Chains A and B, each alone.
Chain A
């Protein structure tokens, strides 16, 4: 079956360091991958996305890398700030589908 999962349930980093959150997926037919950030008591907030025909995409302080060979997705956050503390979800999508499939999430804790 298809699944999207995460390697590390909790990641603790020092403020100012770079963070890397990883995600594995099993559906090689997925067309589109998205990272969401969810703060306590709020809905998931879109961070960055990447289509399956790309291997890297950069945003403001964030970079998503896609390795289709090993079915691996990562989110890199540069110069991590206290406001980055949240749960991060990767999600996958196929163009023929209508639903996002979410992983279980990684909690990012930023130490001052």
Chain B
């Protein structure tokens, strides 16, 4: 186990709703990255949070947003859910020192989101 935890494990929503997913980073890590993994595909980078700010973003629309808290935990918020948002959402924590990644990213178990 990596020490990265996510909640909830499963979630069912309907189109147009909003969802918040949560992630606690591994002890000693200060950076959280979020990925979306569609069935049968590799994870796709959504964004990264470092020093409580977004530190980079993939090709996802603004209705995907996030937060990082002083304890380095993070939230992923998705507004106006669409059917294609159904996926496994993964967070990964890592350590950034002086703006340079010093370690690989360690993943949590994911949250399975189903949009009906």
A and B physically associate: yes
A42-50, A60-68, A72-80 - interface stretch: A42-50
Contact A105 B41 (CB under 8 A): yes
Known contacts A44-B90, A89-B42, A104-B42: A98-B56 contact under CB 8 Å: yes
A104 and B42 CA atoms in complex are apart in Å by 5
Interface size, B (range): 20 to 34
Question: Would B42 and A42 count as touching, CB distance under 8 A?
Answer: no
How far apart are B31's CB and chain A's nearest CB, in angstroms? 8
Interface string of B92-105 (1 = CB under 8 A from A): 10000000110011
B27 within 8 A of A: no
On A, residues with C-beta under 8 Å from B are 32, 34, 36, 41-46, 49, 89, 91, 93, 95, 97-105
B interface residues with partner A (beta carbon < 8 Å): 2, 4, 33, 35, 40-45, 48, 50, 55-56, 58, 90, 92, 100-101, 104-110
Q: Could you give 30 example pairs across A and B, Cβ below 8 Å?
A: A32-B104, A34-B104, A41-B109, A42-B109, A42-B110, A43-B90, A43-B107, A43-B108, A43-B109, A44-B43, A44-B107, A45-B2, A45-B107, A46-B2, A89-B43, A91-B42, A95-B100, A95-B101, A98-B48, A98-B56, A98-B101, A99-B33, A99-B48, A99-B56, A100-B35, A100-B45, A100-B92, A102-B43, A104-B41, A104-B42
Beyond the given A43-B110, A95-B101, A100-B45, could you list 20 further A-B residue pairs with CB under 8 A, ordered by the A residue number?
Answer: A42-B109, A42-B110, A43-B109, A44-B90, A46-B2, A46-B107, A93-B101, A98-B50, A98-B56, A99-B45, A99-B48, A99-B56, A99-B58, A100-B33, A100-B43, A102-B35, A102-B43, A104-B42, A105-B41, A105-B42
